Amino acid sequence: MKKSLGAKTLAQPTPVWVIGSYDAHGKPNIMTIAWGGICCSQPPCVTISLRKATYTYECIKEHKAYTVNIPSAAMAKEADYVGTISGRNVDKFSMTKLTPIRSEMVDAPYIQEFPVVIECRVLHTFEIGLHTQFIGEIMDVKAEESVLGEQGVPDMLKVKPFVFDTGQSAYYEIGQRIGKAFSIGKKA
Amino acid sequence: MKKSLGAKTLAQPTPVWVIGSYDAHGKPNIMTIAWGGICCSQPPCVTISLRKATYTYECIKEHKAYTVNIPSAAMAKEADYVGTISGRNVDKFSMTKLTPIRSEMVDAPYIQEFPVVIECRVLHTFEIGLHTQFIGEIMDVKAEESVLGEQGVPDMLKVKPFVFDTGQSAYYEIGQRIGKAFSIGKKA
């Protein structure tokens, strides 16, 4: 017998991604989000949801582009910090000593120190309610060679991304490998 | 210096959620997805993306409702299995010995054995490309008492959800707690 908890955003887990964009003056800005995910394979797209009140919302509206920067758990403090203040008031890159790199693919900056970055151009903007959903077409993914595994793609145990537990408002590391997808179920 | 990997859906991590729906004959069906996430806080919404070719796509189009069932790592085999076959051909509930429970909130079944379930009614349907995005308003979240932690909300270390690494096509457990969100960055 399950207990009803009400109409709440208690889905687990959610990603912790840092969104890069330029403001109207060309200043690079970053903001942490947990409302997002891949939403299409062809064209490859990743969606992020932002409140209109955020500075990043204005920046993306202006430049129609953003980057999704995946922090490793070692950068959890920086990722948390840039989710607690507004880029209207501070230069988050200088505050965190992170380095903005201008994307050659889209009109947005990415974070040099983060192991994996995804460069997106805005394909659609959907108003849902408090949050606006941006659908970004993935133009390129860039990663440090040191985090690549089999087949030359990022290996979760090398990237060491982390996740957000919405209900308890806490971050968790990625743990042990369970097994291969589209495979372990066949042995059941 | 980062290496370019091309325009691919290499975002990490992605969730592993099992979607519950009824077909046109009222048969309960389930399917595993990794393309999804929370997309709005008010109204509380969770989005999932499906290919039109899937049976679940037809089911959701018919009933305008679905459930998001969060498996614990102990159910990774069952979750993997229901992502490898179509509900057109088999009864996935009987194959996995999982139990469908009719939601009182929406016209969809949820999985009794999974620790957390989210009941959604379709608010919007957006065509992106190969995938169609359903935006589901969260009508209720139900959880086993045994997975509730502080403040009566699901605790990640008790639910033990797991994640998907898209590039390497593998599943990983959730690991250690890093710290409190909107807090650990302030000490930096």
Distance from CA of A62 to the nearest CA of B (A): 21
pTM to 2 decimal places:
0.97
- pLDDT band, residue A186 (cuts 50/70/90): confident
- The verdict on B26 touching A (C-beta cutoff 8 Å) is no
Question: In this predicted structure, what is the pLDDT of residue B187?
Answer: 55
- pLDDT band, residue A187 (cuts 50/70/90): low
- Provide the 10 A C-beta neighbour count for residue B27: 16
Of B80, B142, B152, the CB nearest to A185: B80
Amino acid at A125: T
b/e sequence B129-154, b meaning 16+ C-beta within 10 Å: bbbbbbbbbbbbbbbbeebbbeeebb
Is residue A158 predicted with pLDDT exceeding 60?
Answer: yes
Q: Which helix (H) or strand (E) holds A146?
A: none
* β-strand partners of B31: B19
- The verdict on B95 touching A (C-beta cutoff 8 Å) is no
User: Which tens digit of pLDDT belongs to each residue from A15-42?
Assistant: 999 999 999 999 999 999 999 999 999 9
- The verdict on A25 touching B (C-beta cutoff 8 Å) is no
A14 φ, ψ (degrees, to nearest 5): -115, 150
- The verdict on B53 touching A (C-beta cutoff 8 Å) is no
| Cα dihedral A8, A11, A13, A15 in deg (nearest 10) | -70
Q: Measured between alpha carbons, how far is B36 from B143 in angstroms, rounded to an integer?
A: 20
Question: In this predicted structure, what is the pLDDT of residue A150?
Answer: 84
Q: Measured between alpha carbons, how far is B87 from B92 in angstroms, rounded to an integer?
A: 6
**How far, in Å, are A26, A156, A185, B137 from residue B66 at the CA level?**
42, 30, 23, 10
Mutation to test the A interface, candidates B148, B178, B180, B183, most A Cβ within 10 Å: B178
Q: Which two tokens stand for residue A7?
A: 């109409």
- 8 Å CB contact between B80 and A184: yes
Of A140, A148, A183, the CB nearest to B7: A140
User: Which tens digit of pLDDT belongs to each residue from B91-135?
Assistant: 999 999 999 999 999 999 999 999 999 999 999 999 999 999 999
- The verdict on A187 touching B (C-beta cutoff 8 Å) is yes
Please judge whether B11 and A15 are an interchain contact, meaning their C-beta atoms are less than 8 angstroms apart. yes
Residues 123-162 in A contacting B (C-alpha not used; CB under 8 Å): 123-124, 126, 128-131, 133, 135, 137-145, 148-157, 159, 161-162
- 8 Å CB contact between B86 and B56: no
- Provide the 10 A C-beta neighbour count for residue A84: 14
Widest CA span in chain A? 57
- 8 Å CB contact between B21 and B53: no
The DSSP bridge pattern shows strands B109-111 and B44-51 to be: unpaired
User: Which tens digit of pLDDT belongs to each residue from A78-123?
Assistant: 999 999 999 998 999 999 999 999 999 999 999 999 999 999 999 9
Residues recorded for chain B: 188
**How far, in Å, are A156, B59, B81, B104 from residue A62 at the CA level?**
33, 39, 44, 44
- 8 Å CB contact between B37 and B182: no
Please judge whether A181 and B163 are an interchain contact, meaning their C-beta atoms are less than 8 angstroms apart. no
- The verdict on B41 touching A (C-beta cutoff 8 Å) is yes
Tell me the average pLDDT across B52-73: 98
Please judge whether A15 and B37 are an interchain contact, meaning their C-beta atoms are less than 8 angstroms apart. yes
- Provide the 10 A C-beta neighbour count for residue B179: 14
User: Which tens digit of pLDDT belongs to each residue from A143-152?
Assistant: 999 999 988 9
Q: Measured between alpha carbons, how far is B9 from B134 in angstroms, rounded to an integer?
A: 19
- pLDDT band, residue A64 (cuts 50/70/90): very high
Domain B14-187 fold: Pnp Oxidase; Chain A (2.30.110)
